[in-house]
Structure 1
Amino acid sequence: MTEVQKNSSTRFLTEDAPQRLTFSPVAPGISRAVANNASLMTYHGTNTYLIETADGDFLLDPGPVEDEAHLELLCEAIAPRGAGILITHHHIDHSGLLGLLKKRSGLPVYASEHYAGDILIADKLLKEGDVVAGLEVVFTPGHASDHICFSRGDVLFSGDHVMAWNSSIVRGPDGNMKAYVDSLSRLLARSEPLYLPGHGPALPDPHPYVERLLGNRVRRENDIFAMLQRVGETTIQEIARVLYNKSDPYLVWAAEANVEAHLHKLRDEGKVRQNGDNWRSV
């Protein structure tokens, strides 16, 4: 694994671009390969984990369908002791290779009982508290309605719910800000000392970081509500422009998605009202 540096202004973690087409150890019995789908939304790419268990080896989140070379790596890695394929959520950068990998390997697919993907039907549907080869299922909706984490006790595979390099996008209708905030709070009641996320570097000592993520969401929501009280009626686009001040189109899109998710939460709580494209406080 590459050396991790800490960004003091954002408190996010960064890492050098990883070597492609290889698995590198990140924790005892766990290796990581990074798919070749780097972008502003995926950092260096999607992390696929090879997890050694007493019941055989499992692959977690195969990655995007366009990375054929990554598929070959996964098929080779899982061949000796393959036991199954785990999915944190249905987003295509995590599940795109799922159908091809299952066809090539013949291994069963494990996903949330709320799985929202349309690539294939999972063989095993998982609910909160289920255990797969020593990995406990932790239901963490918010970023996606079907998002689950997997806990080995000493490690939490946190998917896109908690990532060290950036905060997660919450975009409706599948994403839900109230569920996301509640899921962050649930993780604070857990004790895993290391998170392995769906993109970017590992996150040691995760509790202070999760507390900051939660605090940032609360502050952002307060800022949105205060702006509505101040200006009266305005649009999602104007709120995002004022509060996020992004120029890159992808980052503008992400900011607007998060603002909309916060507004939906505030609307469900009876604090704001929608009037066409405009929103106002109640």
Structure 2
Amino acid sequence: MAFLEEPEPQRGVALPVLPGVRRIVANNPSLMTYHGTNTYLIESDQGFIVLDPGPEDAGHLDDIIAATGGKVCAILLSHTHSDHLGATSSLKARTGAPTFAFHRVADPSFEPDVLVHDRDMVAGMLAIHTPGHASDHLCFAARDGVVFSADHVMSWSSSIVSPPDGNMAAYCASLRLMLSRNDSLYLPGHGPPLPNPTPYVADLLNRRVEREEAIFEALRSGPSNAWDLMDRLYSKTDPWLRRAAERNVIAHLEKLHAEGRVAQAGEIWSVQR
């Protein structure tokens, strides 16, 4: 499958995405965040809805305030990973806007003002609980088939699924849930917009299924630990990416274990006899 690329975006500027929607790309580029976290500014009659304030960074916070004039009426969280959550408390302190997040947050240090449940309407958008990458992950479906897909589906890369909060069975189920919809555009948490997302999401799911079967077949030749399985099945060379790939392998193994297909003895995994 082909991932999408984009040039490094202009920093500190609210870039137009759609009518009434802009994004500021936080200055936190990395192997896991691409050019940085997308903070979306969504216009409404009451002011701006800020979706994912981004990392704790004074400059990024100032950019949000400058772009909105401080007129923020709601702060939405797709999930509570630090590159999305970090600036939330500071933004709330400067604007007084209430925070909205899934009712069972994965980060116990954060208490949202409004607890969001699956299928709730939030700031005119439908909240869709899509666990897998994170247990508290939400996508937000707006008008005309536009979905803020956050880290569940990104255009530039597949998502890491890292236990214990990451869960591969939940992730695959969430991909199938999104496939049941008829959306036209995803606006992800990192990277450029993703038009016509359905074939792309189908490819993401197929790749996970294929990877899982490759792991199972590798175990048929003998017991192994997750690191060695990663080393055999992935072509990553960067140490950080290799560790991320190992986390994905562990997530697949836990799914296979829950399905009764593999057994675990310490760090060693084997086909269930």
TM-score category by the smaller chain? over 0.9
Which whole-Å CA distance do the structure 2 matches of 1:119 and 1:135 have between them? 26
| C-alpha RMSD of matched pairs (Å) | 1.1
TM-score by length of 2: 0.97
After superposing on structure 2, the runs of 4+ consecutive aligned residues of structure 1 that deviate more than 6 Å are none
Matching residue of 1:184:
175
Contact 2:47 2:73 in 1 (8 A): yes
1:209 aligns with 2:200: yes
Alignment of 1:120-131 (within 5 A): 120-131=110-121
**149-158 vs 70-79, greater mean Cα deviation:** 70-79
Matching residue of 1:95:
85
**Against the structure 1 CA distance between its residues 104 and 220, is the aligned structure 2 distance closer, same or farther, given a 3 Å change threshold?**
same
The equivalent position to 1:237 in structure 2, one of 227, 231, 237, is 227
Matching residue of 2:133:
143
Q: 5+ residue gaps in structure 1?
A: 1-9
Deviation, structure 1 residue 119: 4.3
Q: 5+ residue gaps in structure 2?
A: none
Contact 1:79 1:105 in 2 (8 A): no
Identical pairs, percent = 51
- SS of the aligned residue for 1:149 comes to strand
Q: How many residues align?
A: 271
Matching residue of 1:273:
263
Which whole-Å CA distance do the structure 2 matches of 1:59 and 1:133 have between them? 10
Deviation, structure 1 residue 52: 1.0
Matching residue of 2:41:
50
Contact 1:139 1:149 in 2 (8 A): yes
TM-score by length of 1: 0.94
Deviation, structure 1 residue 55: 3.8
Contact 1:55 1:133 in 2 (8 A): no
1:19 aligns with 2:3: no
1:62 aligns with 2:53: yes
The equivalent position to 1:83 in structure 2, one of 46, 70, 73, is 73
Deviation, structure 1 residue 114: 1.6
Task: Provide, for residues 89-145 of structure 1, a one-character-per-residue CA deviation record: whole Å limited to 9, x for no partner.
Answer: 000011011111111111100001121224431000101111122111011000000
Which whole-Å CA distance do the structure 1 matches of 2:109 and 2:183 have between them? 32
